[in-house]
């Protein structure tokens, strides 16, 4: 059980879920941004087309010098420079306006069409995109009306910038909240890890900590604690049975050893049966020592016996171990 693996914050489930939520939020924000930008662009283009058609409907009622004067007067009120026009003879010669020639991309159908790169006298307006309309006038001339969508698109750019700033200002607190929210579950996981390490080391009385939040971690810790309670109970019962068996067997072994000892005392030293009796006595003493050791280990585990403890200097023991294993290490 590696501590580094358990406490790796970037691999935890909470971090992954929060990271996935952040990615989904960013992806959805981008989709929302794209749809909104597309809808605003369509709306502004519709406004430009509608403006061109309204101007065409207004100027179709003028003829002769009245049309020229109306076009010039309309130009005066174009404060943002988004409108352009051109008045041409039937064979395409320019008569008035900023357009120097008839745009080949505009059919003479009186409908609005997207245009860009028109031959216009205004240098600042060259290359701009917009919507244009070409229609015949009542006196046989050709009128071309253009509405540039550049200033309208500035509104679109402002909306785009505002949305980008909004996503950025939302993403930064989201990442900060992700970092803060994943720290609390990780601290609880580390506490559970430490308790588990003590349990693995042999402290079966240790239990996993609970936060009293009744969340998934508390539910899992409660299940594990119940399992540990049952395991501890079973091990205590097994230990009690083993202790009772060892304690009960010690009495008959003592009797057997006493009878063997009396038999040995009754046999002369030179008798052939003396040697087997001594061997049986030694084996019986060894067996009783094993049972006494088992009972002593049980008492030590229950913290009931400390009288045999003494201060130990580890240096001589380590030197003895070194002297014992040094030849084996040299052979390897």
- What are the domain boundaries of the chain? 1-202, 216-313
Q: What percent of the chain has pLDDT over 70?
A: 83
Q: How far is CA 299 from the centre of its chain?
A: 51
Q: Is the per-residue pLDDT at 279 higher than 70?
A: yes
Supply the pLDDT for residue 26. 74
Task: Find the mean pLDDT for residues 292-299.
Answer: 75
pLDDT at res. 52: 86
pLDDT of residue 127 exceeding 60: no
For residue 305, pLDDT beyond 70: no
Taking residues 300-315, what's their average pLDDT? 72
pTM as predicted: 0.46
| Residue 209 pLDDT exceeds 90 | no
Q: What percent of the chain has pLDDT over 90?
A: 2
Long-range CB pairs of 22-31 (<8 Å, 24+ gap) are: 22/171, 22/174, 22/175, 22/178, 25/170, 25/171, 25/174, 26/167, 26/171, 29/167, 29/170, 30/167
CATH topology assigned to domain 216-313: Helix Hairpins (1.10.287)
pLDDT, tens only, 36-75: 778 877 887 888 888 888 888 888 888 888 888 888 888 7
Q: Which of 46-55, 145-154, 171-180 has the highest mean pLDDT?
A: 46-55
């Amino acid at each position: 059980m590696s501590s580094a693996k358990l406490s790796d914050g970037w691999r935890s489930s909470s971090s992954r879920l929060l990271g996935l939520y952040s990615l989904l939020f960013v992806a959805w924000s981008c989709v929302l941004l794209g749809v909104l930008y597309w809808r605003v662009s369509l709306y502004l283009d519709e406004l430009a087309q509608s403006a061109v058609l309204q101007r065409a409907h207004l100027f179709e009622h003028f003829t002769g010098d009245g049309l020229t004067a109306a076009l010039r007067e309309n130009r005066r009120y174009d404060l943002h420079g988004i409108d352009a026009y051109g008045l041409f003879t039937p064979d395409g010669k320019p008569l008035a306006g900023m357009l120097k020639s008839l745009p080949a991309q505009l059919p003479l159908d009186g409908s609005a069409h997207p245009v860009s790169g028109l031959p216009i006298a205004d240098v600042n307006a060259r290359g701009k995109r917009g919507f244009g309309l070409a229609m015949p006038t009542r006196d046989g001339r050709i009128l071309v009306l253009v509405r540039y969508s550049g200033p309208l698109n500035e509104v679109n750019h402002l909306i785009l910038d505002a949305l980008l700033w909004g996503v950025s200002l939302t993403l930064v607190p989201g990442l900060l909240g992700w970092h803060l929210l994943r720290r609390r579950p990780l601290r609880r996981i580390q506490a559970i890890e430490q308790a588990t390490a003590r349990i693995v080391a042999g402290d079966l009385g240790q239990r996993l900590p609970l936060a009293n939040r009744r969340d998934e971690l508390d539910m899992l810790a409660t299940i594990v604690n119940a399992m540990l309670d049952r395991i501890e109970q079973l091990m205590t019962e097994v230990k009690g049975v083993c202790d009772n068996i060892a304690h009960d067997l010690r009495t008959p072994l003592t009797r057997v050893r006493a009878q063997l000892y009396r038999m040995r005392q009754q046999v002369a030293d030179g008798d052939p049966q003396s040697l087997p009796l001594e061997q049986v006595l030694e084996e019986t003493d060894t067996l009783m020592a094993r049972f006494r050791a088992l009972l002593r280990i049980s008492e030590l585990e229950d913290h009931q016996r400390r009288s045999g403890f003494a201060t130990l200097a580890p240096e001589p023991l380590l030197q003895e171990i070194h002297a014992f294993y040094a030849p084996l290490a040299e052979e390897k």
